Structure 1
């Protein structure tokens, strides 16, 4: 999910941080009790726990909360009160978490789990501790650990029938699956989290979950679907007088408007979020609001204002060590400066962002840095060539006219040689830069495809393998067999993905004819399996038409997606795939006589948005015509490249 969403992060851990022995006492009476009693019994630790809770979530006084939490750990250890020790570690973790010190928070989350297991405390405490640990890993981008801890928490809940259930593990799994590119697999986990929120009957939790659903649809690239959830969250936050969530929902609305290219509306929401953060002295909220406002001004092409707000975001994030926001703001500013051709400054901020990024994203970041560096070096060399030419011109003007006439022939020859060498060097360097850029682009694409198509599936296989071993040890062979079948399907998917990547980058496939053959090989057996009469037509004028790797890849993926949708949803008895040539363009038509659908209502299930984006990326236009009961026609038109 997105970084900088402070209310969501807060409530995501509040469900777990509510200790089993926190009492509802007034803050003043707590202070009086702690001052007048010696730390000699468990009642004192309970009072300390309530005081820490107040310092963290009502006063945001993190230094005092951390100091009191350290005392809790010492007193609980001396009294051998292990539940109190867990509470002390939990409070130290929550203090660092809320202060955005996520690495330190993770250390104490792990200590909480270790203490519960070491002292054999009740399963419900391990359930909560594992949820906390998963939240800590999420903030540091440790996707595999998030899945492991959250799945383990759910398994403990199911084994011991712990009530009430907590929604956070399901939400964390859903968010991690979205990051891994498994968006459809994430939907059931989000739905289950919603069920649990409503089971709890907590309006604050429901309001925050609506905000999280808005974030989820933004991750899916569906801003119009995200908008009603942010609006509902905003309305509920006002009813509940929940200012922190209100600021979060306003920021979500601003990001939706920015995505929909309505930056003026977005600025109105973002400024309201900033006002709330300033009023509450919420430095993390202020950083997020500055970042959002900077992005909105960038959309408005007001680069000066955009740079001002992004630099403010960086200053606050740097001052308070908000690593997530610092990484995000540095990347935004690097993009903004690169858009203005300020490559040297852009490189500096890109490098800073790179130093804050973990190894899982370094491949793409390093490629981006290399691209910026090449552009900067190219412009510097071109400027140097222009300077040399100007100096030569000045030298020529200062030369004595008579001497120039005597040596005209010689000087002309020398100048021609120098000019030829300069131009040759410039052209050679330019060609080298172009080849480097093409190589970087190819490497980045391969890394992206391998990460999205193979890496996440391998992680899934690893997790499923471990779970299979556990099921076998528990003598549950039927369930284990299902897991093995899923591993087999995932492995087949990896082989198909790698085959497609290799086919895409193979220069021997750089013709439209090869794409046509591959789509026919892909479609024919699927049509036969559904008993669909399939007609295939190719204009002979297209046989040897060359296409670039990027066009070939997008064209094949659009065709594959369209064929899959036809097989899954159309219920057709006849289908046709045609490749035609129209002047300097080629056209691909896929049509069927199936049940059709309302083309005005976009569906994430059929991947229409993804196909539209791929069509734009290859410089083409995708048109979908469909009427319920009258079949569907998909038409892709593109220039021959």
Structure 2
């Protein structure tokens, strides 16, 4: 029943057809029976039982064919077409309209031909071919309805007005809707339902022109008629419309009328009105800045609209509105583009230019906000093309109407000119007669009449000339618009070519970038491999150093232990000499070996990479080595040094050098006091010891390699070792190591 609600009720149509059949066909029982069947079909169509409506229409159609009643045959075809129209089977409706038109043409019956044309125009309009429907509506009205006021004529003007509104001509829409209202008031002022629909359509047309006072006034009149008709569903429609009219004017009235709309729609179980209430609620919340609520009500409305699926243009607009809300709420791009794509898909079904215009504009705004200026530029151009196309169509339509009016007025003026010429000739004759009869007063009157007619002719000619100039001006404007559109299309082609070139350059850039990435990856992989090889080489070197240390230090100790053990065994076998000194030496060297192994393991452990860990190790060794000799220890470590780190080889070599220095002090210095410092010197690490022992001669030859090891280890680490000593004045050692 969607079309009955939106455009005009068909409830009187069947009765009208039946009634006409009764009045125009022979007064026979067959025609009366067909009329009765068509009335029943009409009643079932209004109630929504289209199956029963088809059944009675088919019965009437078969009976009319059997009896050869052409007028009733055509009436039954038109009723079938109306039912197909309600079912959205527009092709069948159009086919039946052509068949009915052919019958009317054979009978030379303008009424049947006009009704068939009306059905054809409605099928075109509902199928989205609005522009194509307009001349068919005009033909039907000119052929019959203009001179034969009836409820069906009111329907013709109403639907023609609606089609004009869809085509972007609201002023013409209002004129035709007012004609529809006046005809209804003339032929059937008690048809409250039809009057309510027509007044509601007028109200919507004024709303599209933003004439809110008239829109509200007509909407209230519509509700009053619908209340008389007891139609709650359509009263809900009127209240929904008024709530929308008051948006931005009076929010309190918006809420009041919206509440009435929702209540009546629920009472009537009318999903169309419920969806409109949801849409108006969404608009209300949008005005208040509550986008979340607005989107929620749009989604509720969309459930109903998609379920019915009768108005793809409306669904497209609602998806566009949802996309705009999602953009404002900063939803993810997947959600936003889903709404835009749905809007595009539904609008492809009826190719509504106004919807395309608005959709492309919002897409341009969205891509601009995302920084995607190429897509934004393309869409704003599409928006401009559709906007200019709509303006161009309206301009051409206005020019055609002007030409039609101009030709009509030109013919009327030509007739008037000829009549005036005849009057002038008659007046000249009468003037001559008056002169002959010496009636000067009559001559003066005739002279004035001649002058007046001459002036009228000149005024008419001037008017025609002005209309011709206006027509030429409009044609020139249209030509300019066409040239501008052609220029825009040319610019679009150039942009497309530039875009293709840009894409080519972009693809080449991507290719070059890909090659650079591959080269970079190859170089990075090679670097990682070289670094890994270096790390392996370093690890092998460390392992070699550890093996060397084990061999040099631990190996010599173990060899010494072995020799002492063999000597002790021989002594015990040969003589009874005491072997206790040998056993003490073995014990001492075993402890020394254990300590050496512990130092190597400690140095290798990565958890001991901080100098703070090294200081703990140094303290332990100092206490164990110098305190038994009763040597006073002074240890100074700067705080900034504690958190610094040393590499594994640095830790190992530093600990070896430290132990070498401390062992020399314990064994040879005879010192009473030693000062040890660990300081930061710039980025370097400075280790120094100073004792008050007996000192030694640096120039003297020594069999021990201890000092040489100090120099070599420091040098191997990239540092330096300085030793200063004088007999009787102690010894000072300074070791400077670079950072890790």
TM-score between the two structures when normalised by the length of structure 1:
0.56
The equivalent residue for 2:119 is 132
The equivalent residue for 2:18 is 21
For the 8 Å contact 1:124–1:157, the answer to whether it is kept is yes
Q: Does 1:10 align with 2:8?
A: yes
For the structure 1 residues 16 and 492, does the alpha-carbon distance in structure 2 shift closer, same or farther, using more than 3 Å as the test?
A: farther
What displacement does 1:487 show? Answer: 5.6
For the 8 Å contact 1:62–1:95, the answer to whether it is kept is yes
What displacement does 1:41 show? Answer: 5.0
5 Å matches for 1:248-267? 248-258=237-247, 260=248, 262-263=250-251, 265-267=253-255
For the structure 1 residues 299 and 188, does the alpha-carbon distance in structure 2 shift closer, same or farther, using more than 3 Å as the test?
A: same
Q: Partners in 1 of 2:291 and 2:92 — Cα distance?
A: 37
The equivalent residue for 2:341 is 351
Q: Does 1:364 align with 2:302?
A: no
Give the one of 384, 389, 393 matched to 1:455: 393
Return 138-147 or 456-465, whichever deviates more. Answer: 456-465
For the 8 Å contact 2:276–2:301, the answer to whether it is kept is yes
Give the one of 265, 269, 289 matched to 1:301: 289
Q: Partners in 1 of 2:320 and 2:222 — Cα distance?
A: 29
User: What do the CA deviations read for 1:482-537 (whole angstroms, capped 9, x no partner)?
Assistant: 99888645413314556888999999xxxxxxxxxxxxxxxxxxxxxxxxxxxxxx
For the structure 1 residues 179 and 130, does the alpha-carbon distance in structure 2 shift closer, same or farther, using more than 3 Å as the test?
A: same
Q: Partners in 1 of 2:3 and 2:297 — Cα distance?
A: 18
What displacement does 1:230 show? Answer: 0.9
For the structure 1 residues 308 and 440, does the alpha-carbon distance in structure 2 shift closer, same or farther, using more than 3 Å as the test?
A: closer
5 Å matches for 1:404-553? 430=371, 433-452=372-391, 454-461=392-399, 488=472, 490-495=474-479, 497=481
Q: Partners in 2 of 1:214 and 1:336 — Cα distance?
A: 28
Q: Partners in 2 of 1:272 and 1:185 — Cα distance?
A: 32
What displacement does 1:304 show? Answer: 3.8
Return 114-123 or 367-376, whichever deviates more. Answer: 367-376
Give the one of 201, 212, 219 matched to 1:230: 219
The equivalent residue for 2:202 is 213
For the structure 1 residues 334 and 62, does the alpha-carbon distance in structure 2 shift closer, same or farther, using more than 3 Å as the test?
A: farther
For the structure 1 residues 146 and 15, does the alpha-carbon distance in structure 2 shift closer, same or farther, using more than 3 Å as the test?
A: farther
What displacement does 1:435 show? Answer: 4.6
Q: Partners in 2 of 1:209 and 1:338 — Cα distance?
A: 38
Give the one of 209, 229, 232 matched to 1:243: 232
Q: Partners in 1 of 2:145 and 2:77 — Cα distance?
A: 26
User: What do the CA deviations read for 1:584-623 (whole angstroms, capped 9, x no partner)?
Assistant: xxxxxxxxxxxxxxxxxxxxxxxxxxxxxxxxxxxxxxxx
For the structure 1 residues 175 and 457, does the alpha-carbon distance in structure 2 shift closer, same or farther, using more than 3 Å as the test?
A: farther
The equivalent residue for 1:518 is none
For the 8 Å contact 2:101–2:117, the answer to whether it is kept is no
- Asked which structure has the greater CA Rg, the reply is 2
For the structure 1 residues 374 and 104, does the alpha-carbon distance in structure 2 shift closer, same or farther, using more than 3 Å as the test?
A: same
For the 8 Å contact 1:10–1:98, the answer to whether it is kept is no
Q: Does 1:155 align with 2:142?
A: yes
5 Å matches for 1:27-66? 41-57=30-46, 59-66=47-54
Q: Partners in 1 of 2:402 and 2:280 — Cα distance?
A: 39
For the structure 1 residues 217 and 155, does the alpha-carbon distance in structure 2 shift closer, same or farther, using more than 3 Å as the test?
A: same
What displacement does 1:63 show? Answer: 3.4
SS at match of 1:441: helix
Kindly report the root-mean-square deviation, in angstroms, between the aligned alpha carbons of the 2 structures: 4.4
- Higher RCO structure (Cα 8 Å, ≥6 apart): 1
Q: Partners in 2 of 1:132 and 1:231 — Cα distance?
A: 31
For the 8 Å contact 1:6–1:248, the answer to whether it is kept is no
For the structure 1 residues 162 and 10, does the alpha-carbon distance in structure 2 shift closer, same or farther, using more than 3 Å as the test?
A: closer
Q: Partners in 1 of 2:8 and 2:173 — Cα distance?
A: 22
What displacement does 1:176 show? Answer: 4.0
SS at match of 1:301: coil
For the 8 Å contact 2:80–2:93, the answer to whether it is kept is no
What displacement does 1:15 show? Answer: 5.5
Q: Partners in 2 of 1:241 and 1:10 — Cα distance?
A: 16
Instruction: Give structure 2 stretches of 5+ with no counterpart.
Output: 21-28, 417-463, 492-740
For the structure 1 residues 180 and 478, does the alpha-carbon distance in structure 2 shift closer, same or farther, using more than 3 Å as the test?
A: farther
5 Å matches for 1:247-396? 247-258=236-247, 260=248, 262-263=250-251, 265-324=253-312, 325-342=314-331, 343-357=333-347, 358-361=350-353, 363-364=356-357, 367-368=360-361, 370-371=363-364, 374=367, 378=370
5 Å matches for 1:128-207? 128-157=115-144, 161-164=147-150, 166-203=153-190, 204=192, 205-207=194-196
For the structure 1 residues 323 and 193, does the alpha-carbon distance in structure 2 shift closer, same or farther, using more than 3 Å as the test?
A: closer
SS at match of 1:10: coil
User: What do the CA deviations read for 1:16-48 (whole angstroms, capped 9, x no partner)?
Assistant: 45433259xxxxxxxxxxxxxxxx955443332
For the structure 1 residues 213 and 242, does the alpha-carbon distance in structure 2 shift closer, same or farther, using more than 3 Å as the test?
A: same
SS at match of 1:341: coil
What displacement does 1:256 show? Answer: 0.6
Return 360-369 or 266-275, whichever deviates more. Answer: 360-369
Q: Partners in 2 of 1:194 and 1:92 — Cα distance?
A: 27
Return 458-467 or 43-52, whichever deviates more. Answer: 458-467
Instruction: Give structure 1 stretches of 5+ with no counterpart.
Output: 24-39, 379-429, 508-641
For the 8 Å contact 2:216–2:245, the answer to whether it is kept is yes
Count of residue correspondences: 428
Q: Partners in 2 of 1:97 and 1:273 — Cα distance?
A: 28
For the structure 1 residues 41 and 494, does the alpha-carbon distance in structure 2 shift closer, same or farther, using more than 3 Å as the test?
A: same
What displacement does 1:251 show? Answer: 1.9
For the 8 Å contact 1:16–1:128, the answer to whether it is kept is no
For the 8 Å contact 2:360–2:383, the answer to whether it is kept is yes
What displacement does 1:455 show? Answer: 1.5
What displacement does 1:124 show? Answer: 1.8
What displacement does 1:437 show? Answer: 1.9
SS at match of 1:221: coil
For the structure 1 residues 456 and 248, does the alpha-carbon distance in structure 2 shift closer, same or farther, using more than 3 Å as the test?
A: same
For the structure 1 residues 127 and 212, does the alpha-carbon distance in structure 2 shift closer, same or farther, using more than 3 Å as the test?
A: same
